[in-house]
Each structure stands twice: as C-alpha cells, then as structure tokens.
Amino acid sequence: MKMTQTDGGDIKRRLRLSVLIAVLGVVYGDIGTSPLYALQTCLGYFSNKAMTRMDVLGLVSLIFWSLIITVTLKYVTFVMRADNNGEGGILALMTLAQRAAKNSRARTALSMIGIIGAGLFFGDGMITPAISVLSAISGLEVVSPGMTPVVEPLAIAVIVLFFLVQKRGTGDIGAAFGPIMFIWFLTIGGLGLVQILHDPAVLKAASPAYSVFFILRHGFTAFVVLGAVVLAVTGAEALYADMSHFGRKPIRASWTYFVLPCLLLNYFGQGALVIADPASAVNPFFILAPHALQIPLVLLSTAATIIASQAVVSGAFSIARQCVQLGLFPRMEICHTSATEEGQIYVPQINLMLAFGVIMLVLIFQTSNALAWAYGIAVTGTFICTNILAVVVFRRLFHWSRGTSIAVFGFFGLVDLSFFAANTLKFLDGGWVPLAIGLSLTFIMNTWRRGRNLIIARWTQDSLPLASFLARLPQSRTIRVPGTAVFMTGNLDFVPNALLHNLKHNKVLHEQVFFVSVRTLDVPQVKPENRAAAEEVAPGIYKVTLSYGFMESPNVPRGLERLSAQGIEISPMQMSYFLGRETVVPASVPKLNFIRRGLFLFMTRNAVSATEFFQIPSDRVVELGVRIAI
C-alpha cells in the first residue's frame, strides 16, 4: 500500500502530539502542581479581614511576572540554549562552563558551584515529594475538617508505596503520565476560567503596576512574601534538566501554548475566588471546585503530585550517576529498568536515602505550609548556581559581549537573589533543611574527590612506569601462557599493581594482555564507534582506553568487543580480569583530617565493587589486595 503525503503528514502530527503529551508527564509535573500551595502560602501573611482586593491582585501579579521572568525568559528563552550535546541540567552546564574557563583555579571554582547546585537538587528531590503529597492529600480537610488527623499517616503511606515501586522503573507506568498531566492542566485551567468569568477584572493583575504597588504599599512584608511567591516557579530547573529526553522545541512549545496558560488561568481564578470570598484563602485551590468534584480533584491531585515526585526522583537518579561518572560519588549500583531507554535507571542507595529523608520531613514539618520555606531555599539556591554558570557559558562559549551578559543575567541574578534573600528570613523555620542537605552532600562529594586524588597520587608515586617494565620484559624470561588478561588501571603510563602481584605469585604473563582504562568525557554519550581505542605497546600487549559519557554506565566486556573492528582478536570466553582491591589505611602523616578520613573510609567500604560497576562477569575476575596509605 502506498502512503500518501496526507498520511505522512497525519503520522508526523500524531508523533508531535504524542511527544508534547509525554513532555507534560516528565517535565512539568513539579511546576504544574505548584498551584496547590503557592498562592495559599502567600495569602497566609494576611488575615481575611485585613486583606484587600489590591492585595490579592498584587500577589497574583507577582506570581504572573515570576513565571514570565524566571521560567519563560530565563530558562525557556535563554538557559535552554546552553546544552551539552543535547543534555541539560546543572552538571551539564558545569562541564560547559569548565570547558570555557581560562585556568585551573576558575575550573575549580566553577566545579564547586556545580557541586553545590547538585547538592541543593538532591534537597529538592526530598522536599518535592513531601510538600506535593501533603498538599494534595490536605484537600481532604476541605471535604471534611474531621479528616485532618489522617492526612499525615496517609501521606506517609503514599510516599512509602511510591519509593517501593521505584525498582520497577517508570516504563510500565510512564505512558500514563502524560495523559494524566494533560487532564490535570485542563482541569486546573478550566476551574480557574470559570471563576475568572465571574470577575474578569482580575486579569488586570497582569499589569506590573500591581506588583509595584503591592511592594511599595507593604514594604518589608512584601519582601518576605517573595519567599512564598517563588513556590510558583519550583520545577523551572526541570525544563532544562530534562531537555535531553525531548529536545528544546517540544518543551518550549508545550510551555508557551499550554502549560503556562493553564497555570495562569488557575492562579487568576484563585485570585478572583479570594476577592469574592476572603475566607477561601485557607485553601483556594480546592475551594475553586464544586463540592461534588472535590474528592475527584483530591485523587487527581494525588496522582499529579506522584508524577511530579517521580520526575524529581528520576532526575536525582540521573544526577547521582553523573556524580559517580565525574568522580564525585563512590561507585553505586545502577540498575537499568528499560531495555530500550538508556536514561531509565534505578539507584537503590539514592532511593533509600530519598525515602528516609522524605518521611523524616513529613514527620517533622507535618504540613505543606511548614515545608514551604525549606522548598524555597532549595529552588532559589539552584537558580543562583545555574545563573552563575550560564554567565560564563554565554560570555565565553557563545561570545556574548560583556555588557549583554551582565545586562541579561545580571537582571535574572537580581531576581534570584531577591527570592533567595526572602527565603533566608525563615532559616530557623525550615530554611536550614535544604542548606544542610546541600552542604552535607557538597562535603561528601569533595571528601570523596579529595580522597581519590590522594590515592591516585600515592599509587602513581609507588608504581612502576610502564615503559620501564616493557623495556625489561624481553630479558626477564617471563613465561607467556595462553589466554587473555585484562588489567584495569586508572593510568595507562604505569603498571597496575595487580599485574606485579600476579607476576610475583604466579610467575607468568598471558599471551595477550590488555591494560584498560575507563575514561569519562564531558559529553553525555559517546558514539559506539568511538568507544574503544587501542595501542599495541609490545607484542601481544595493548593499552586500551574505553570512553563513556557522563550519562552512560560503563560496560567493559562489551566495550572490549569493539576492538575486533580494529583487527584485534577478541575471545570473550578466554578473558580473565585482574582487579586490585584497595585497602585504605592511615598514613603516618595523614593527608585527611579525622572526620574526612573516617567518611572516606566508610564510603570506600560501602562502594559497589569494580566487578559489578564495570559489569564484568564475576566468574572471570581475579582480585588481588593492595594496601594504600593516605
């Protein structure tokens, strides 16, 4: 059957529509559920009797312009241009900025900014499920005030179930995410539109004059309220972080033509409701709905918040893998939950850490309003880190003029700093949570990187240069035995300790020897044809480099199979892998203080073995112990 041009156009339209719907489920879950609590938290600063129409219009205006400036202009228009081979997110932006840096000191500083941003992202990964699920289930209080005692236990039950099913991956339920969020946005937009029709004058809040008037009238109180206004833009970082899944065009199109209008309709509708009935400020989102629809809205809200949580948790898994590949975390178990999608992974250690953190946050704060301040600092802190890195990238890589760079990102920076400063006022009321999480993870990452650098330096100092070994090999009369030996090493210029130990104890060397080094490049993925590079340095002895992107999980056996394309005979069943199992002990003059040394030793003991991390068959591995003093 011959396909007509019309049929081809229909297929393309259906594909575009399916992508746009999928974007809703993966990218916009977080920011899409912000109407549950953003305006409600802002209204909490005013009593029902003292609140005026101008106050409500001012708050709605601030939310409107926050969405336009931070999301539409900063992220959708500018930051999304800075992709690392299609990959977005704070660590991808960090690698771009480091590539543009002029010296090592600047690269170190940019690395620290990226690490802090990643730490705050993990804080966001804990707070999002807690505040979102609590906000959704608190709708039961609107239906029946007597149900307040069950909100917290029910939220914990939903969260526990949510983390228990993570190991199954998102493949089975991912197809439902987009349609559910499509229904969600239509619902919240429709509820807002109905209320706007009762008071169309609320649309005047789109004028920046109402924001200015609100700030001038309330002064310091308005500054404090900014800490709650920022809740409307939580999830903006996801637009950039998830760019690799769909590309920038579908994300931009879905935001501009669907998500943003639905969000604005809901916020303006909530404003119109509060103007008509100030008592509804207690929970304007759920009161927007008729009483008969409130239970279905609670169920839909719970589904939407689970999807929002899934997007953040999946992002945390991806960031964790990037941290491992970039040498910021110890090796972790990384499980692929899809046979076709490389990005669908599950990291058990991170899942357990997030589950524990989320449950503790729910038990400590108990309500979404109490968690709002903790949320704000995590989000605005990440905004600031992204803004600093973006300045470097646009100035150095995109060759923007200094004036343009300062004008554009200086303006965004002032907005970000205003939001961040407003949230710091509630440091003792919960703002310390994301900072504590972020600083703790920054300390952990820096400790691991410092410890590994010390081990590499000590290993290099004590190791035998490969050139010297190869020069002595013909005179050593070492017996060559059949088979292939693979020695994993971090530096191809030195002889792996595992080989020296094998020669010392077994007195033999295999006929074919591969010295294999796994290298992580500053790109998301490496093309298969560029995976393996080999150099024969002596008869039957090769130096092999396997290259992977920071979004990939290394598979050494599969990588070595690529050598056959270079004319090197490969027999996987004849390969033996020799690995050195490091035992780290304190040096006579320790290079790490007591706390950092203890933390590093703990991480070393609990790191996933090289056998598992590099996906090497365990029945072909020979491990030889190595003691290293640092």
Dihedral angle over CA of 322, 249, 264, 197, nearest 10: -150
- Consecutive 10-residue averages of pLDDT for the chain (630 residues): 44 58 79 89 78 92 96 92 78 85 83 85 80 79 74 86 75 67 94 95 95 92 89 84 75 91 96 92 89 86 82 77 82 70 73 88 78 76 91 90 92 93 82 81 86 81 83 82 88 85 82 90 80 89 88 86 87 85 68 81 82 86 73
Angstrom distance (rounded) from CA 513 to CA 510: 6
For residue 523, is it within any domain? yes
For residue 157, is it within any domain? yes
For residue 451, is it within any domain? no
Whether residues 411 and 468 share a domain: the answer is: no
Whether residues 502 and 409 share a domain: the answer is: no
Question: Percent helix, strand, coil in the chain (nearest 5)?
Answer: 70, 10, 20
Whether residues 281 and 360 share a domain: the answer is: yes
Q: What pLDDT was estimated at residue 174?
A: 54
For residue 432, is it within any domain? no
Q: Which residues contact 449 (CB under 8 A, 6 or more apart)?
A: 327, 328
Q: Which of 383, 410, 425 is the last residue of a domain?
A: 425
Whether residues 463 and 566 share a domain: the answer is: yes
Whether residues 482 and 547 share a domain: the answer is: yes
Distances (CA, A) of 8 to 22, 250, 581: 21, 20, 57
User: What pLDDT, in 10s, does the model give residues 408-431?
Assistant: 999 999 999 999 998 888 777 777
Amino acid identity, residue 429?
A: D
Q: What CATH number corresponds to the domain at position 82? A: 1.20.1740.10
Q: What pLDDT was estimated at residue 1?
A: 42
Q: Which of 373, 407, 425 is the last residue of a domain?
A: 425
Whether residues 402 and 477 share a domain: the answer is: no
For residue 449, is it within any domain? no
Prediction pTM value = 0.76
Whether the CB-CB separation of 236 and 375 falls below 8 Å is answered with: no
Q: Which helix (H) or strand (E) holds 483?
A: strand 479-488
Whether residues 415 and 472 share a domain: the answer is: no
CA contacts within 13 A on the Cβ side of 562 = 16
Find the helix packing angle between 5-26 and 171-198, rounded to 10°.
Answer: 80
Q: What pLDDT was estimated at residue 189?
A: 95
Whether residues 474 and 526 share a domain: the answer is: yes
CB atoms within 10 A of CB 21: 19
User: What pLDDT, in 10s, does the model give residues 440-482?
Assistant: 888 888 888 888 888 878 777 777 888 888 888 888 778 888 8
Q: Indicate the number of domains in the chain.
A: 2
Q: Give residue 601's domain range.
A: 456-629
Whether residues 419 and 461 share a domain: the answer is: no
Q: Which residues contact 459 (CB under 8 A, 6 or more apart)?
A: 490, 491, 494, 497, 628
Angstrom distance (rounded) from CA 131 to CA 240: 22
Q: What pLDDT was estimated at residue 5?
A: 43
Whether residues 542 and 399 share a domain: the answer is: no
Whether residues 463 and 517 share a domain: the answer is: yes
Whether residues 342 and 286 share a domain: the answer is: yes
For residue 181, is it within any domain? yes
Q: Which residues contact 609 (CB under 8 A, 6 or more apart)?
A: 331
User: Residue 459's closest CA among 607, 545, 583?
Assistant: 583
Q: Which of 425, 446, 464 is the last residue of a domain?
A: 425
User: In degrees rounded to 5, what are phi and psi of residue 516?
Assistant: -110, 130
User: What pLDDT, in 10s, does the model give residues 32-84?
Assistant: 888 988 899 888 888 766 778 999 999 999 999 999 999 999 999 999 888 77
For residue 435, is it within any domain? no
For residue 416, is it within any domain? yes
Q: What pLDDT was estimated at residue 58?
A: 95
